[in-house]
Structure 1
Amino acid sequence: MSKSEGTVTERAVAADVPETMRGAVLFGPDDMRVVQRPVPMPGPGEVLVRVAMCGTCGTDLKILGGHFPQTPPFGEFIPGHEWTGTVAGLGESVDEFRIGDKVCIEAHAGCGGCDNCLIGRYTACLNYANRAKGHRATGMTANGGFAEYAVHNAKALYRMPESVSFEDAVLVTTAGTGLYGLDVAGGYVAGQSVVVFGPGPVGLMTVQLCKQMAASQVILVGTRPSRLEVGKRLGADHVINAKDTNVADAVLRLTGGEGADLSVEASGGPDCPQQAIEATKRGGKILLVAFYPGQVTMDLSAAIRKDITMYTSRGEGGNNVKRAVAMAGEGKLRGAELVTHRFPLDDITEAFRVVRERDGEPLKVVLVP
């Protein structure tokens, strides 16, 4: 196929796109190698992106270990689901973008036709991982951003405002996760007290979101002082070190004895759902957005006695990445401050060692091709 500008009905690829690229391919559990691969070409409705950087997260550790369902086969699969870059090619029918546009992504592109997709719940697409039906989850069920180039569906791609840096954009999907959870749990936190469990990237972006949505106070719970300090800097009104104090008692003191209107569990700590039950007021809400290492035990009878409503959400559905992009463009979300480590793509093994061992207090580790 000629690499020409073409029209909206033809594929168009920038003249400087090479035939091959470097990509981090998963060959087996804990066996990630940077190798040469053909540059993928965008199909109808798809966009080729020159990757500027790709973030890492806890899900990537599960993928790296071979413990994530519905991934492509070993030897073919390029992970990475938090990436950003510049448009380098347009598939047939794509006229929403132009070559050279700076873009950020949401990881999930639903089939678009199932009941869940039609109401904006495409992270719970009923055709999840079914490529024939059109579903893609970059870096999870399809090749992702640990590479020099990646193909993505145009419907899950967003043009970046000029004021948004690539570092900010890496955290936009993360912000979309928090924003979608808040959307699922009712959308409004104005005037309410919110407790966020877990000062990781999702928790810290959720702290900022709740402050921008006029929560009366945002309380951040964690165990690492350095991350709690970041939370303070990003707007948390109070921080609680769960190693030093009883979380529920501390929250009750800060909320006049009532408990929080909303508790957001973003840590993945097995004890935290129970702490959320204890810290939430009667008639309040609990939002669970984390993944856990195994089964979780909690006192559901206590939640029922307190008439607590519990919600779960997965990923960044409901068009909330678009909302997060708009908030970042207005300076309401600060993502770049969470990027603590940068590694070249060739050092991806070392980058994941740092993530796994928490060497040097990493918060968001990014790979740069």
Structure 2
Amino acid sequence: MTTSKTRVRQGNTNEERAIPSTMRAAVLFGPQDIRVVEKPVPDPGYGEVLVRVAMCGTCGTDLKIYDGHFPQTPPFGEFTPGHEWTGTVVAIGESVDELAVGDRVCIEAHHGCGRCDNCLVGRYTACLNYGDRSKGHRATGMTTDGGFAEYVVHNVSSLYKLPECVSYEDAVLITTAGTGLYGLDAVGGYVAGQDVAIFGPGPVGLMTVEACEQLGANQVILVGTRDRRLEMGRRLGADHTINARERDPVEAIMELTQDAGVDLAIECSGASIAPQQCLEVTKRGGKVLFVAFYKEVISLDLSTAVRGDITMYTTRGEGGNNVKRAVSLAAQGRLHGADLVTHEFPLEGIAEAFHVMKERIGDPIKVVVVP
């Protein structure tokens, strides 16, 4: 049973708001050993905000963390993962006036140090002080405690107020949408009239499909191996879908583009064969964007890229202020994250949630945990 204490923070009312002293939080005690325990509710520091979590999404990075294979996470026995959360502001730290108690918010997972060369030019997901809290860096649910808990602290600069028309189910996919938008931003940000092939109909790939459709791409071609996800891609704006188990995607894409290839190929799948396929379907002078992580070292025929004068890009996470763009698109009804939420578990069921996701039980797309 949690006890309560009263904390007073400046907000949009003058009333006192009771915040518990302790909270339920999922803690990683070892590889594939996650338990819900009582932890102190954190106090927001200078420039920070305390949020009551409404829900937190799971993704492939969480599975790597769960398996104990992700760098720079805090020690076992104290660390709470979760980096795709949304909720309501319940307390604000010193200097914070951008948000108020009662505001609903979504997040950027990464808060850069704000002082290194990369942060100064807006590349804070590639912060040179990554993982160094003493320098101000914070990656929620990766290098600091995250959102698989009742409450979580984050820097105000990495929080965005939700418009009334955007639900929590939409908001839990906003960070994911920001990942796709950041990649599009890096390759030029202008896909109107262009043919785009997207490999991998996971949440990032599906949100990128919708973004490309909304940004005016000529043809959006989605490649995957699961019919349910490909059907979701069609609902979100894919003009063509290709099941790679049924047809060679290179052959199919070249046919759809009259052997010219696409202007832009985006690799979101993490499949070892997909990077080479991206190169092979990209037209001369085109672009390939890699946003996936890979389980093993990838073999790639760079001569294909050189002969085709193809430019290759990588981006990590949701940088470049693209979460703000994602919030705007969602408010305009152009991004629909809630459509991807297929499974919901209580916090005490987090181990089952990871199991369902890892083993693909019930063909999940986005699995969320609700404290």
Alignment TM-score > 0.5, same fold: yes
> What's the offset of the Cα at 1:14?
5.7
Secondary structure at 1:37 match in 2: strand
- Corresponding residue of 1:330: 332
1:251 matched to which residue of 2? 253
Letter in 2 for 1:309: T
Query: Structure 1: which 5+ residue stretches go unaligned?
Result: none
TM-score by length of 1: 0.97
> Any idea what the Cα deviations from partners look like across 1:64-106, whole Å, max 9, x if unmatched?
1110000011111000000000000000110111100000000
Aligned residues: 366
2:26 alignment partner, one of 19, 24, 27: 24
Aligned AA (1:3): R
CA distance in 2 between counterparts of 1:295 and 1:242 reads: 21
One of 40, 43, 66 as aligned partner of 1:41: 43
Instruction: Summarize the Cα distance change of 1:230–1:13 in structure 2 as closer, same or farther, 3 Å threshold.
Output: farther
Pick the aligned partner of 1:318 from 317, 320, 331: 320
Following TM superposition, by how much is the alpha carbon of 1:4 offset from its aligned partner in structure 2, in angstroms? 1.7
Deviation at 1:335, TM superposition (A): 0.3
Measured against aligned partners, the alpha-carbon deviations of 1:296-335 in whole angstroms (never above 9, x if no partner) come to 0111111111111000000001000001001001100010
8 Å contact from structure 1 (residues 14, 99) kept in 2: no
Query: What is the aligned partner in structure 1 of residue 232 from structure 2?
Result: 230
Residue 78 of structure 1: aligned partner = 80
Q: Give 3-state SS (helix, strand or coil) of 2:250's partner.
A: helix
**CA distance in structure 1 between the aligned counterparts of 2:265 and 2:8, rounded to whole angstroms:** 52
DSSP 3-state at the match of 1:316: coil
Counting only pairs closer than 5 Å after superposition, residues 1-369 of structure 1 correspond to structure 2 as 3-6=7-10, 15-369=17-371
Give the root-mean-square deviation of aligned CA atoms: 1.3
Offset from partner CA, 1:239-276 (integer Å, 9 cap, x none): 01111111111111111210000000000000000010
C-alpha distance in structure 1 between counterparts of 2:203 and 2:9, whole Å: 39
Cα distance between partner residues in 2 of 1:63 and 1:190: 37
Partners in 1 of 2:128 and 2:353 — Cα distance? 34
Query: Is the Cα–Cα contact under 8 Å of residues 13 and 90 in structure 1 kept in the other structure?
Result: no
Hey, what's the Cα distance between the residues in 1 that align with 2:209 and 2:264?
12
Please list every run of 5 or more consecutive structure 2 residues that lacks an aligned counterpart in the other structure.
none
**Do the aligned partners of 1:191 and 1:215 also contact (CA within 8 Å) in 2?**
yes
8 Å Cα contact 1:283-1:308 kept in structure 2: yes
How many angstroms apart in 1 are the aligned matches of 2:359 and 2:15? 40
C-alpha distance in 2 between matches for 1:338 and 1:49 = 24
Q: Taking every aligned residue pair, what percent have the same amino acid on both sides?
A: 67
Return the alpha-carbon distance in structure 2 between the equivalents of residues 22 and 226 of structure 1.
34
C-alpha distance in 2, partners of 1:123/1:265? Answer: 19
Aligned equivalents of 1:5, 1:320: Cα separation in 2: 29
The code of the aligned residue for 2:292 comes to A
Q: How far apart are the structure 2 equivalents of 1:159 and 1:80?
A: 20
The alpha carbon displacement at 1:13 in A equals 10
Q: Is the contact made by 1:289 and 1:314 (CA closer than 8 Å) also made in structure 2?
A: yes
Moved over 2 A (4+): 5-8
Indicate if the aligned counterparts of 2:10 and 2:101 stay in contact, CA closer than 8 A.
Answer: no
Distance 2:11 2:267 in 1: 47
- Hey, what's the Cα distance between the residues in 2 that align with 1:64 and 1:7? 36
- Measure the CA separation in 2 of the matches of 1:235 and 1:191: 15
- Residue type matched to 1:107 in 2? A
The alignment partner of 2:206 has SS state of helix
Cα distance in 1 for partners of 2:236, 2:202 equals 12
Q: CA deviation at 1:2?
A: 6.0
The Cα of 1:5 is off from its aligned counterpart by 3.6
Partners of 2:91 and 2:110 lie apart in 1 by: 20
